[in-house]
Amino acid sequence: MRLRVLFLLTLFPFLAVAAALPVPDQGPALRIQGSNTIGAALGPALVKGLMVQQGLQGVHSEPAEGANEQRIVGSTRQGKTVTIEVAAHGSSTGFAALKRANADLAASSRPIKDSELVDLEPLGDLKSPDAEQVIAIDGLAIILNPRNPLNTLNTEQLAQVFNGEISTWEALGGVGGTIHLYARDDQSGTYDTFKELVLSRRGKPLAPSAQRFESSEALSDAVSHDPQGIGFIGLPYVRQAKAVAIVDGDSQPMLPLASLIATEDYPLSRRLFFYLPPSNRNPWAKALVDFTQSGKGQAMVAANGFIAQQVQAIGVEPRPSMPEDYQAIARDAQRLTVNFRFEEGSASLDSKARQDLQRVVAYLKGHGKLDKKVMLVGFGDMKNDPQRAALLSKLRAMAVRRELVKSGVVLRDIRGFGAQMPVATNSADEGRIKNRRVEVWVY
């Protein structure tokens, strides 16, 4: 029998499967804690995908002891039970669980904070490329009741609304009287992201009158039933509510569209993460990260309403507000759904950009675009010197070119557009970092 299997694998290597992961004698095979945005549905779906890939049978979810907790259960062909636990109480709880050794993997809908990084230093560098894994892109949608006539808000208005400074719809040019605020709870990465992107940048706390929710679904449903309601939510949870277009600084109004979130141009886009401590030796944790980054895992990301990181080419409609040279590029080429961004205060590509390099090269190879079919377009932030911004925007494009050349890509051209076409306000460090980007265009 063994010889027959070896013969088949020689003829048909695609029949080979990854080595089976070990099944613990007792306790869960893997413990995941953190973000409700991830843990409510996406995390369990990825876990199920991994368990099915491992050949487990009867894979299903069942509720655990607490609210927003579940167990994913399957069995081996020999009848041994395998359990993976997912607790979704907010991003900060994932990092706290890593410290207490109550979790193998933290799910987070925001980057790890500097204080958490220092606190978890005994577990290794959680900002290292293998530890910090961007698994999907999400957009925070600002949602209103479907009958609300407003279609656009800017981030300054959002800060004033959720701080309570603007308290009526009439003050925003609408109708409806008093504004009712709906927000996620303090443990939520969704709330952390909204606080960071909107409130904290303007030194404003959330108004005490806001109704708080642990569940994304419950918050969205509450807004959709309240004509005076406004809330913020992860993209898959808009449900029956109405999303409005958002303006940040001098950016164009942007709806939370998949293409704008994939490139992270949308002002309230964010990354979703798994954090795998370097000290962790649980093979199930590494296997789940690898599965999530695979084509099959990213397809599950998309199926759950988030934006997968698979690279696609999209057409961009030239607009009069664009520089003429940029309009010419848009008329003749397609833009890839990826932006290369850089570590804060550095010319080094960030953790997502390093992963995206491999995805872009795979796309170019698969579509015959390796030889003079690619243009890199760099952008910068204004600060005080437009000429400096123009130079740095081109230097960033050259940094990406150096990495692509290593994989055999011959560039058609590189361009720098300086501080033109900002996607975020230049009045804050976070916005300037977002404006320092490199786009990829293919002919």
Radius of gyration of the chain (CA): 23
Return the CATH fold of 311-442. Answer: 60s Ribosomal Protein L30; Chain: A; (3.30.1330)
A 10 A CB-CB count for 148 gives 22
* Under 8 Å between Cβ of 370 and 358: no
* Under 8 Å between Cβ of 440 and 335: yes
Give the 3-state DSSP-derived string for 18-49, with helices as H, strands as E and coil as C: CCCCCCCCCCCCEEEEECHHHHCCHHHHHHHH
pLDDT for 346 equals 64
CATH of 2-136+271-303, one of 3.40.309.10, 3.20.20.105, 3.40.190.10, 3.30.360.10: 3.40.190.10
Give the sign of the dihedral formed by CA 267, CA 268, CA 274, CA 278. positive
pLDDT for 12 equals 37
**Neighbour-count burial of 176, counting CB atoms closer than 10 A to its CB (0-12 exposed, 13-18 middle, 19+ buried):** buried
CA dihedral of residues 190, 192, 193, 195 (deg, nearest 10): 120
Query: Which phi and psi angles does 84 have, rounded to 5°?
Result: -125, 130
CA 344 – CA 216 distance, rounded (Å): 30
* Tokens 């979703």 found at: 272
Is 0.85 topped by the overall pTM? Answer: no
Give the sign of the dihedral formed by CA 112, CA 117, CA 121, CA 127. positive
**Neighbour-count burial of 19, counting CB atoms closer than 10 A to its CB (0-12 exposed, 13-18 middle, 19+ buried):** exposed
pLDDT for 344 equals 67
209 alpha carbon, distance to own chain's centre: 29
Superfamily of domain 138-262 in CATH is Periplasmic binding protein-like II (3.40.190.10)
| Domain spans in the chain, listed from the N-terminal domain onward | 2-136+271-303, 138-262, 311-442
Query: Which phi and psi angles does 94 have, rounded to 5°?
Result: -65, -45
Q: Name the token pair of 197.
A: 């992107």
Helix axes 386-405, 351-366, angle to 10 degrees: 60
Q: Name the token pair of 223.
A: 């807004």
Task: Walk along the chain (443 residues) and give the pLDDT tens digit of each residue.
Answer: 443 434 333 443 333 345 789 999 999 999 999 999 899 999 999 999 999 999 999 999 999 988 899 999 999 999 999 999 999 999 999 999 999 999 999 999 999 999 999 999 999 999 998 999 999 998 899 999 999 999 999 999 999 999 999 999 999 999 999 999 999 999 888 898 899 889 988 999 999 999 999 999 999 999 999 999 999 998 889 999 999 999 998 888 999 988 899 999 999 998 999 999 999 999 999 999 999 999 999 999 999 989 999 999 999 999 998 999 999 999 999 999 999 988 765 668 888 898 899 999 999 999 999 999 999 999 987 766 778 778 888 888 999 999 999 999 999 999 999 889 988 776 666 666 778 899 999 99
Choose among 393, 380, 374: nearest CA to 441.
374
The number of residues making up the chain comes to 443
CATH topology agreement for domains 2-136+271-303 and 311-442: no
